[in-house]
Structure 1
């Protein structure tokens, strides 16, 4: 239907344009936030490889520069299966965070704000890490130490995306439709401060140039 086509069109745009994102290009030591979240879970039941851990998760990592919603990048993770009663798959693993940090942040001279998960402690050249404890960071204001929210931007981004996702039997863990819907929500987040009609027009024109060969001049 039309909604699915729009989601897939936006997904194509986002996955192409996301490659051009550069953190910290407009300033040195820009503030960048990183976090992971889950969008859905599925109990595999007797089809699970390990009966004790039958639940699989749709978990993604997000990185965004403060003040620049158009820099939100998303990466799908591969968390371990969990027990039925587990509240989630756990924090991002070091084996997954390290290549993401090197790809997007290495030598960019940014200040990285994350929660206190050990995986984020990976040392990356050109990155200063300001870890957050329970969603807050400790900063010095007029000679006094105070707690200040640390990952509020990416937290709001997660809420924005989840508010625009509809999880059903067709859009579920591992499905291409769920990924398309998530990328579509990412597209909306990028352009949330712009005229969406203009953005959609640019998207349509871009798609036309991809699928229709222009006549020779």
Structure 2
């Protein structure tokens, strides 16, 4: 089996398995789970003139952007969803944060009524009210604040302690920040090699991202054993039982 074929098998397995995943504990006790969310960009390409309504002013950058959710301490819980960001100007530094219209359906699908403490950056979309979810955020950019009549730069806080009040009235302290999902993005980008055959908005780059997601699920495990189980699953799908 070639590398491209293995990526396709991993892609089908990840997409089918992800549909059955949840961030809710299976037992009846309402335990709260720490979940981090963030988005990342893998590649971009210039929209050709023939696809831009025939006007040069409509051309811009199209981005390959994904949003990820992961439970702390559980790499096998990583969930990736592909986004459809708006086309930006050619020299834009990025597609921007996730829009509320895209985040709301994702949040309702994965987080609604799950007893989750959601950790994110300061993007406004993540502040949406979701039942069963408590939210905190950290600021990843420095900002100007006025102290004693003088404007000074306040350094960003990537990690800070937050206190949440649960619906039962009990208070719980958690560490706000997105350090786990940030390391997950670094893990994925090290394995997704972008070239002329796997540009943004192509099936090949989506297969590579799903393949890297499968490797992240198998962190700390024997990859030979995991690959054997993967191929067993694949053969069960293509071979008909008598």
Q: TM-score, normalized by length of structure 1?
A: 0.91
Residue 61 of structure 2 is aligned to residue 55 of structure 1: yes
Once the two structures are TM-superposed, the CA of residue 121 in structure 1 deviates from its matched residue by 0.5
2:186 & 2:162 partners in 1: Cα distance? 29
1:168 is aligned to 195
- Point out where structure 1 has 5 or more consecutive residues left out of the alignment: 142-147
- Point out where structure 2 has 5 or more consecutive residues left out of the alignment: 141-156, 164-174
1:33 is aligned to 36
1:5 is aligned to 5
Q: Given the alignment, which residue of 82, 85, 99 partners 1:79?
A: 85
2:127 & 2:92 partners in 1: Cα distance? 24
1:144 is aligned to none
Q: TM-score, normalized by length of structure 2?
A: 0.82
The 8 Å contact of residues 131 and 137 in structure 1, kept in 2 or not, is answered as no
Residue 58 of structure 2 is aligned to residue 42 of structure 1: no
Give the total of aligned pairs: 209
- Secondary structure at the aligned position of 1:102 is classed as helix
Q: Given the alignment, which residue of 103, 113, 117 partners 1:111?
A: 117
1:137 & 1:98 partners in 2: Cα distance? 25
2:233 & 2:121 partners in 1: Cα distance? 38
The 8 Å contact of residues 40 and 57 in structure 1, kept in 2 or not, is answered as yes
1:199 is aligned to 226
Residue 74 of structure 2 is aligned to residue 68 of structure 1: yes
Q: Which has the larger radius of gyration?
A: 2
The 8 Å contact of residues 55 and 82 in structure 1, kept in 2 or not, is answered as yes
